[in-house]
Structure 1
């Protein structure tokens, strides 16, 4: 989508959809419930918009980390987890790139500085240390976003955001599970870091906005992809389920 805006479908101002400034996992905007656009799929809040950006940004560091894991991972379980990262985030990315123009949301092309630091920290390790850092950092970050997904799914009034939250919930739960199956997760440490994250400046937590006109980075699905992007047509129509026919009136005697 880049910075292009699609007219007709939304009633909003450009200022209302300014690039989000608060996207950190440890930060909750006081205005998350503020409606910034009334769309044909339901109202869009600041929290809804930020959620789409978070999902996109997650793929921008976890997908390449999955590629690194396939090369550097020592255990079969870490290589399997890497395959799940690539598969799941390619599918979520497809959904985000479709929803961005529909909801006039500017998507990032680069992960946040904090997320880039995670990649560098893990990639700096080798052997068993690589596997350990890989499993624990990814278990921590997926656990952190899991509650956010549930909140968005339970509160959003936007059909497209609900569909994305459903897909993200399934994907993140799968990734949590494969990290745990490595047998390397230190739950005491991971849960402590998950519930008491460091206080970082917003500049570290926010993925930079893309330059005007820059094409969107595409996370290519693997040849063996099993994850399925959201059925946008079905989601846009509502729940994706055709309503039951109205009952035939009973003739009066």
Structure 2
């Protein structure tokens, strides 16, 4: 092998091999960014839906649940915002379009609002539990993993509460 070929090979290795860990770090960062975006959008959606429930529901149990959601998700969103700033990650600017559409459907409902809201909350919290379970197990950043682990029991409690609301306010 001539000297030029050896030099090219050495240069190629010098530039390509170090990129492996960088690519993995980029993928990890992208996964953490995805979690932060999804979690913040879901948190905003939950708060929006709960505010709507406080306004539209006539049922004390639904209003109590809604206030619980507002309190817990506001606290979680504040913690997530601090984490995002620390790690230079971006929060969602608003709830996802899907969640905005679901909120609009809830808003126009007059009859059986409580049943629709309860069903909405079961689905939303099933998705949240799945998202946070994945981050609790797989987030590359230890702060984000701990946030997901610490928040997961609260979300599981919300899911159980929402399931109880579905039983108390069955769809017609």
| Structure number, greater radius of gyration | 2
**Residues 167-182 of structure 1 mapped to structure 2, 5 A cutoff:** 167-182=150-165
- Uncovered stretches (5+) of structure 2, i.e. residues with no partner: 1-22
Q: TM-score, normalised by structure 1?
A: 0.54
**Post-superposition shift, 1:163?**
1.9
Is 1:116 matched up with 2:100?
yes
Runs (5+) with no aligned partner, structure 1: 1-32, 38-43, 187-253
Asked if residue 142 in structure 1 is aligned to residue 125 in structure 2, the reply is yes
Q: Deviations over 1:131-167 (max 9, x none)?
A: 0110001101211231232122112232111122023
Higher helix share: 2
| Equivalent residue number for residue 100 of structure 1 | 84
Distance 1:166 1:185, change over 3 A: farther
2:147 corresponds, among 164, 187, 191, to 164
Please say if residues 42 and 128 of structure 2, whose CA atoms lie closer than 8 Å, have aligned partners that are also in contact.
Answer: no
Name the SS of the counterpart of 1:49 in structure 2.
Answer: helix
- The runs of at least 4 aligned residues of structure 1 exceeding 4 Å deviation read none
> What is the TM-score when the length of structure 2 is the normalising length?
0.77
How far did residue 35 of structure 1 move?
2.5
Partner of 1:89: 73
- Report the count of equivalent residues: 147
Rounded Cα–Cα distance in structure 1 between residues aligned with 2:150 and 2:51: 22
